[in-house]
Amino acid sequence: MTATMHTPATQDSTAVFPMTPRGPLSAELMTLLSSAPDDSAPDGSALDRSDPAAGIVLSARSALAAAESITRDEDVQLSLFILYGLHYGSFDAVSADWEWQPSLVAARTVLERAFEAELRATIDVPELPEPTRAAVAQALSALTTAEGGPSLSRYVAKQATREQLGEFLMQRSVYTLREADPHSWAIPRLTGRAKAALVEIQTDEYGSGRFARMHSEIFATTMRSFGLESRYGRYVSDVPAITLASLNVMSMFGINRRLRGAIVGHLAAFEMTSSIPNGMYARGFSRLGYGTEVTAYFDEHVAADAVHEQIAAHDLAGALAEDEPGLLGDILFGAAACLVVDGWAGAHMLDAWTAGRSSLRGER
């Protein structure tokens, strides 16, 4: 039951995707998406025909049943990355007609519900504060400064090798070459003060409309100046499930309106734990002789995120909690999820490096 039985020529999935499958579900998805859907006739006459992607929902359930940890399952996380990629336009050669294919949306929903349930079951959310700006900002501040344990940023500042700095950029590139986009899904999903606060932050993320100042573009310059490629997806094959999970969490929170509290909490926690580590990252690259063309991205985030964290805690998360008190729990959950999942992704790098290993996947 694939699109290959119909007219569009099937391309080799290795020509369409910058990575190889990591299990049956991602393999099936990549094969399916390597052709155009056959029911996209402009007159709509074919829309009643059977959905060429119908089998993918069952495959999604099988993949979940086979996964020990959804957050760390390579097949599930790559599949989610691909499905979100239909909305971001992550794969140039994939037909845009797949974006709202009902079975693909259904498969994504099946994966998301299980992913979200696992996160809610494993992540501790602090006791909920009063739904006021001050109390919510205070609770987020306590949550984001309680971080203990070994620090990736300190390692980068003090001892990362040139090779490890390259790995760091490759791991980060999966999100950062599209920096801010996952949280931007929330703009039309919010109203009132929280929307205005989010726009104030995102405006800065997108360089106030100046292309060269867009954070994603500053990061692309950093990658090229370091000697890496900046084409989106170039290093997806190198990063493990936990790195994809870090991005997939944001995409899931952002694209689902029911989780708008969580995406707001996520952004607050992200911004509130960014300035100081970015200063350390800049120090690490300077230590090995890299100039401002490489460090500009990190320097920019020291100052930018010192602004954003205030807006995010008080004007975004705090105001949203006041305006929609029912979202308070999700705001704290989203913040905790950001810290925990990004903590796992950071720990993956740190553990590999301190053990003398590469943090990248061997496959290619």
Which chain residues interact with another protein by CB under 8 A?
A: 134, 137-138, 141, 145, 193, 196-197, 200, 203-204, 208, 274-276, 279, 300, 302-307, 309-311, 314-315, 319
Q: Least distance in Å: CB of 275 to another protein?
A: 3
Among 216, 220, 219, 223, residue whose Cα is nearest residue 202: 216
Q: Are 226 and 293 in contact (CB under 8 A)?
A: no
Q: Least distance in Å: CB of 311 to another protein?
A: 7
Which CB sits closer to another protein, 65 or 146?
A: 146
Among 145, 349, 115, 120, residue whose Cα is nearest residue 251: 115
Which CB sits closer to another protein, 41 or 303?
A: 303
Which CB sits closer to another protein, 177 or 218?
A: 218
Phi, then psi, of 361 in degrees rounded to 5: -75, 150
Q: Least distance in Å: CB of 261 to another protein?
A: 19
In the numeric block, which tokens belong to residue 251? 């995409």
**Residues across the chain:** 364
Which CB sits closer to another protein, 54 or 307?
A: 307
Which CB sits closer to another protein, 173 or 274?
A: 274
Q: Least distance in Å: CB of 166 to another protein?
A: 26
Q: What is the DSSP letter of 46?
A: G
Which CB sits closer to another protein, 7 or 208?
A: 208
- Please measure the distance between the N-terminal and C-terminal CA atoms of the chain and give it in whole angstroms: 28
Q: How many CA atoms lie within 13 A of 137 on its CB side?
A: 15
The Cα 94–Cα 22 span in angstroms is 19
Q: Least distance in Å: CB of 300 to another protein?
A: 8
Q: Least distance in Å: CB of 193 to another protein?
A: 6
How many other C-beta atoms lie within 10 A of the C-beta of residue 12?
10
